[in-house]
Amino acid sequence: MTELIDPAPRSTAPPCPPGPAAGRVVIVSASVGAGHDGAAAQLALRLAGLGFEVDRHDFLDLVPAGLGQLVSRSYRLLLTVAPAAYQRIYSSTEHAGRPGVFIRLLQRSSHRRLLRALPADTRAVVATYPLAGQVLGRLRRLGRLATPAAVYLTDFSVHPLWVAPGADLHLAAHPVPAEQARGLGAERVEVTGPVVDPRCTPVTADRRRAARARFGLPPDVPLALLVAGSWGVGEVATVAAEVRDTGAAVPVVVCGRNRALAERLRAEGVEHAFGWVDDMPGLMHACDVLVQNAGGLTSLEAFACGLPAVSYRCIPGHGLTNAAALDEAGLAPWIRDPAELGTVLAAMVDGPAGRRHRAAGLALHRDAAGPANAIAAVATRTADAPRPLIPTQRRHPAEEDRTPAAPAPHHPVGHPARRPVRRPVRRPVRRPVRRPVRRPVRRLGIAAAALTATAWLTTGGTQLAVAYGGLDAVDASRTDRTYLVVHPPSGERLDDATLRILRAAKAAVSIDAAQASADPGEVRRLAAAGLTLVNAGYGPPYGTGLVTRRGSLDAGAAALRTATGSTPGYYLSSRDVDALDLGLAAYHHEHLVVPDARINCAAGTAPQVKPGQVVLVECGSARAADLTAALRGLLAPRPLPRLGALTTLS
């Protein structure tokens, strides 16, 4: 195991002496995962120790009409059910020159609430969430916020949204994210080091033994700590199995608030699977290496505990960019090839690489004063001359600078050459004054945006999630097998030879409502043969419109239940699904099956099937003999395709 040595004591830079009336610092975080709130909590603790009063606010609560919570739920939904889609969104925003329309709407809608949340004695405002930083920077640029604003970068890599034009200060934990922030246009960036739980102290042999006994962990084997954030997202089960199979360490998994994941891991033989853990520093003291997939606060806590870390099978977006930044900084190697997992883990547990990375992580905390001191310095400079948070409102430009016209020159009365000429009086043209948008109009716009976002989530968002194997849709893309679903010919019975081929291919049979109603005996025969039945609704195209074909799922489930006495566990569908379809499928306890490829069994030749696909073989009005020939054609190529059963995907 990694050698345990007590490092040199951390430097204790003298904090700025704020005095007894230091004032107030307001921290704006967001309950998106646990990293932003965790950093906010530790900043609040340090600032309170320096004599400040600290207020904390959740940015999601400052956005009206529930849009903030909608953003959080959408983000979690994409990470869980459509990670590839989230990666595309992240990459597109990473290269954008400015925030998108929806993000700008969120910013502007929160201005008034955020300003009202700042007491008069506020000396500094700190954001630990990128959208909150954007709002603070914008308010500073507009002159509506007179108090200095700082952004604390909780990620080790810097997305453009982290850089807030107008903010007075950006605080980074390491030179790598600091340089990224400067490259994106941040004007003032300071490297202050990270801020973590005070319990995150360097591990010793005695602490490790006590921690293992407290958590019920084996005392004398290498342990690899796997973390998946507070939501338990990512390829956690796969990583746990791969770590166990290497033999280099025993996996210890923290699933956060994802209880279902913890129960699943225990059922799959992962003995040490925890839900939410309050004493993460203690669990880190018990383990030998951290395997992380997001690169957030957990990695920084591990460095402070002297726990070497590696990045592996990272979540999309910031998980991948953080892994690259940590690798560049020499703090945590990024394992891209699964074949290298065992070798790297063994080196980190008991080898010079582990000792080197452990020392680098400890130095990150030992050699920096921390962001709280930098915030205190900014707040202290404004303590003697506080300015109002919102300047007095100026008149509209159309109402300003209305200087009366100069009087006409005076001429002596009666002078023949200077007789006054009567001219028509020209009245000043009254230009319409632009009134500010009233609150009802603004609220109407916000409500319309919320309705639009909700409508997209229940239609286009649902389709996107289902297309990537989410929302209870079976996903074959991460396997090396092919899964066959056969929709047999209408009005014909399959012979025994075809049934044997179907069983050998582990194929499922989809039956539509018309087939089940016309010949329930054939349906019972297929079920008795051990074949998995799939509800095909009304048949091709297996989808529903906004109004049409709405009863297909119910009709198919009812017909199969009448024929076999039970409802099938699967529903064959196109990608054109919405929230109502999902609700009906959940009501019938059916998983969605969306084919990746379709084959017409009446065609003369059958293409070679590919691994990681659900392949639908459609017969329509063809004959049973055509189905038999198509199946033999699919299974004939060498090497033989590796086939799987749908039941292994749900």
pLDDT at residue number 6: 45
Token pair in block for residue 267: 């059922």
Same domain, 167 and 237: no
* Of residues 4, 59, 40, the one with CA closest to residue 297: 40
Q: Please check whether residue 481 lies inside any domain of the structure.
A: yes
Q: Which helix (H) or strand (E) holds 56?
A: strand 53-58
CB atoms within 10 A of CB 569: 17
For residue 81, the 8-state DSSP code is: H
Q: One-letter amino acid identity for 11?
A: S
- The 10s digit of each residue's pLDDT in 103-145 is 666 666 778 888 888 998 899 999 999 889 989 999 998 899 9
Token pair in block for residue 354: 């582990």
CB atoms within 10 A of CB 65: 17
What is the end-to-end Cα distance of the chain in Å, rounded? 39
b/e for 147-175, b at 16 or more Cβ within 10 A? bbbbbbbbbbbbbbbbbbebbbbbbbbbe
Q: One-letter amino acid identity for 262?
A: A
* Of residues 544, 577, 386, 546, the one with CA closest to residue 468: 577
Contact, 481 vs 645, CB < 8 A? no
* Of residues 284, 318, 278, the one with CA closest to residue 298: 284
Contact, 321 vs 183, CB < 8 A? no
Same domain, 186 and 212: no
pLDDT at residue number 415: 40
CB atoms within 10 A of CB 624: 18
Q: Please check whether residue 438 lies inside any domain of the structure.
A: no
* Of residues 115, 120, 154, the one with CA closest to residue 30: 154
Three-state DSSP at 617 gives: strand
Cα Dmax for the chain: 127
CATH classification at residue 35: 3.40.50
pLDDT at residue number 545: 61
Q: How many helices (DSSP H) and strands (DSSP E) are in the chain?
A: 25, 19
Same domain, 536 and 600: yes
CB atoms within 10 A of CB 200: 23
Rounded to the nearest 5 degrees, what angle is found at the Cα of 242, between the Cα atoms of 236 and 245?
Answer: 140
Number of domains in the chain: 3
For 491, the domain range is 472-648
Same domain, 140 and 257: no
User: Phi, psi at residue 490, to the nearest 5°?
Assistant: -75, 135
Write down the H helix ranges in 268-310: 280-286, 297-305
Contact, 624 vs 492, CB < 8 A? yes
Q: Which residue positions in the chain have pLDDT lower than 50? A: 5-20, 386-421, 433, 437, 456, 458-459, 462, 464, 468, 470
* Of residues 480, 512, 499, 501, the one with CA closest to residue 648: 480
Same domain, 160 and 257: no
Same domain, 582 and 644: yes
Same domain, 209 and 109: no
Same domain, 143 and 218: no
Distances (CA, A) of 419 to 406, 407, 409, 410: 20, 17, 12, 11
What's the CA gap between 639 and 588, in Å, rounded?
39
* Of residues 67, 64, 53, 191, the one with CA closest to residue 119: 53
CATH classification at residue 564: 3.20.20.370
Same domain, 279 and 345: yes
**Domain closes at, from 334, 366, 398:** 366
Q: Please check whether residue 10 lies inside any domain of the structure.
A: no
Read off the pTM: 0.59
Q: Please check whether residue 446 lies inside any domain of the structure.
A: no
CB atoms within 10 A of CB 67: 20
Token pair in block for residue 577: 């699904």
What's the CA gap between 632 and 388, in Å, rounded?
81
Token pair in block for residue 170: 């950006």
Same domain, 234 and 346: yes
* Of residues 90, 134, 27, the one with CA closest to residue 316: 90
pLDDT at residue number 251: 95
Q: Please check whether residue 211 lies inside any domain of the structure.
A: yes
Q: Please check whether residue 31 lies inside any domain of the structure.
A: yes
Please provide the DSSP assignment of 217-261 as one string. Answer: --SSS-EEEEE-TTTT-SSHHHHHHHHHHHSS-EEEEE-TT-HHH
CATH classification at residue 265: 3.40.50.2000
Q: Please check whether residue 529 lies inside any domain of the structure.
A: yes
pLDDT at residue number 648: 76
Same domain, 186 and 82: yes
**295: exposed, middle or buried (Cβ count in 10 Å: 0-12, 13-18, 19+):** buried
What's the CA gap between 30 and 130, in Å, rounded?
9
What's the CA gap between 45 and 51, in Å, rounded?
10
pLDDT at residue number 213: 95
**Domain closes at, from 191, 225, 260:** 191
Q: Please check whether residue 455 lies inside any domain of the structure.
A: no
What's the CA gap between 126 and 119, in Å, rounded?
14
Rounded to the nearest 5 degrees, what angle is found at the Cα of 371, between the Cα atoms of 367 and 372?
Answer: 115
Same domain, 209 and 301: yes
**Domain closes at, from 141, 159, 191:** 191
pLDDT at residue number 94: 67
CB atoms within 10 A of CB 603: 12
